[in-house]
Amino acid sequence: MPDKIKVIDCKQSDNEYLHKDFHGALCYAIKYLDDNFGEKATEEYLIQVGKTYFKPLSEKLKREGLEALRSHWKNIFKKEQGEFNIYCENDKLICEVKQCPAIAHLKKTGSFFTDRYCQTTVIVNKTICNDAGYQFTCEYKSGEGKCVQKVWIENFEQATRCRKV
Amino acid sequence: MISCTEFIPAYSELFKFLDEKGGKEAVFRFWEILSDNFLGNLRELAEKKGLAGCFEYWSRSLTEEAADFKMSLDEDTGLFEIDMRYCPSMGRLLEEKHIKPYEYYCEHCDTLYRRVLEPLGFNYEIDLSNCKDAKCKLRIKKMKEDYEVQKI
């Protein structure tokens, strides 16, 4: 083939799906919503994402308990190479994010970042959990790339599922 | 965190949300802003390296997105093409049976990339006739040199 002709031919299975630049696009989405429709609209959007795309996860959490969420979080943080610790304590599922892989990528690449980005975690996860009957909190400082997320249920029978985690 | 592996459904839901709030104009305006601010790397590569820059940009993004595609660059004829056999973006949305893709989802690729490349003097064509099957074709050509004379 002449030097001036280049071809790449790829199947899906040739590569692992992981395009971290998408985190930057989500930052622009949050900013666009905030600037044009207000923070309340941004919250509505994130609730919509939680209720639509993440509905199966919410249903799994309701059906199977905290293991469903633990498994999901472990899977995504591993794929994205985040630093994290997930464990159960006093019937609560706790996820300590020591380095958020999304924020780490944005900082490393010098990409646009909004302090409001963490709302994607706060609101989407709160929606997933609340829809399954669980409580959710997230303690963080914007832009630090660390947080502590806690999930629990105010119901003894369902709380026993946590002990199996 | 919405993982980058979960971004595409969130993206489609965003377009639906914007359309409900502000009509297709609001969606289109978002695409323009994203094109102007988020595709700096494509702009820079295309400016510096021309069609080879386009090849370099899409080599990375399409492999990271695990697309099924064939991409070719012929620098002698000034032609760059992508035959997207299975788009990882629309393909993902089609696989998620519990949600419906935004009706005009695939048009974002037309707006985003055209807006970067045409001002740089490229001719941009995209065939979205089969996009509902997660297939499309893209052709980018170097404009003829007399285009620059006409611009002046």
**Closest to B121 measured CA to CA, from B148, B152, B149, B82:** B148
Q: What is the C-alpha separation between A33 and A1, in angstroms, rounded?
A: 49
Q: Identify whether A39 is part of a domain.
A: yes
At residue A152, the 3 state secondary structure works out as strand
Specify the pLDDT at position A163.
47
**Closest to A73 measured CA to CA, from B6, B8, B10:** B6
Q: Identify whether A104 is part of a domain.
A: yes
The tally of domains found in chain A comes to 1
pLDDT tens column, A63-90: 999 999 999 999 999 999 999 999 999 8
Complex ipTM? 0.90
Q: Identify whether A160 is part of a domain.
A: yes
- Chain B contact for A24 (CB, 8 A cutoff): yes
Contact B26, B16 (CB under 8 A): no
Q: Identify whether A46 is part of a domain.
A: yes
Average pLDDT over residues A114-142: 95
Place A158 in a pLDDT band, splitting at 50, 70 and 90: low
Long-range residue pairs from B122-126, CB within 8 A, at least 24 positions apart, any chain: B122/B46, B122/B51, B122/B54
What is Dmax (Cα atoms) for chain A? 71
Specify the pLDDT at position A23.
94
Q: In what order do the strands lie in the sheet with A83-89?
A: A83-89, A92-99, A147-152, A135-140
Those residues with Cβ within 8 angstroms of residue A58's Cβ, 6 or more apart along the chain or in another chain: A50, A51, A127, A128, A129, A131, A132
Which domain, by its residues, includes A84?
A: 20-164
- Give the phi and the psi of residue A111 in degrees, each rounded to 5: -85, 165
- Chain B contact for A112 (CB, 8 A cutoff): yes
Q: Identify whether A50 is part of a domain.
A: yes
- Give the phi and the psi of residue B136 in degrees, each rounded to 5: -160, 170
B3, B86, B93, B135: best mutation site toward chain A, by most A Cβ within 10 Å? B3
Length of chain B: 152
* Cβ–Cβ gap A19/B4 under 8 Å: yes
Specify the pLDDT at position B150.
38
Q: In what order do the strands lie in the sheet with B122-127?
A: A5-10, B68-74, B79-86, B136-142, B122-127
CA of A5 to nearest chain B CA: how many angstroms apart? 5
Q: Identify whether A73 is part of a domain.
A: yes
Place A1 in a pLDDT band, splitting at 50, 70 and 90: low
Q: Which tokens in the block code for residue B94?
A: 């089609």
At residue A132, the 3 state secondary structure works out as coil
SS3 content of chain B, % helix, strand, coil (to 5): 60, 20, 20
Reported as type and span, the H/E element at residue B80 is: strand B79-86
Specify the pLDDT at position B143.
80
Q: What is the C-alpha separation between A19 and A107, in angstroms, rounded?
A: 15
Q: Which tokens in the block code for residue A17?
A: 């799906």
Contacts of A55 in chain B (CB under 8 A): 98
In B, residues 111-150, which contact A (CB 8 Å cutoff)? none
- Chain B contact for A45 (CB, 8 A cutoff): yes
Average pLDDT over residues A136-144: 93
Specify the pLDDT at position A142.
86
CB atoms within 10 A of CB B23: 11
Contact A164, A67 (CB under 8 A): yes
CB atoms within 10 A of CB B77: 12
C-alpha to C-alpha distances, A47 to A30, B10, B28, B33, nearest whole angstrom: 13, 11, 22, 23
Average pLDDT over residues A12-36: 95
Specify the pLDDT at position A157.
58
**CA gyration radius for chain B?**
16
Specify the pLDDT at position B151.
38
pLDDT tens column, A95-123: 999 999 999 999 999 999 999 999 999 99
Choose the closest CB to A48 out of B17, B72, B75: B17
What is Dmax (Cα atoms) for chain B? 53
Which region among A39-43, A156-160, B73-77 has the lowest average model confidence (pLDDT)? A156-160
Those residues with Cβ within 8 angstroms of residue A2's Cβ, 6 or more apart along the chain or in another chain: B76
Return the CATH number at A42. Answer: 3.30.1380
Q: Identify whether A7 is part of a domain.
A: no
Q: Identify whether A158 is part of a domain.
A: yes
Asked whether residue A159 carries a pLDDT value surpassing 70, the answer given is no
Specify the pLDDT at position A9.
97
Tell me the pLDDT of chain B (152 aa) as tens digits: 899 999 999 999 999 999 999 999 999 999 999 999 999 999 999 999 999 999 999 999 999 999 999 999 999 999 999 999 999 999 999 999 999 999 999 999 999 999 999 999 999 999 999 999 999 999 999 886 534 433 33
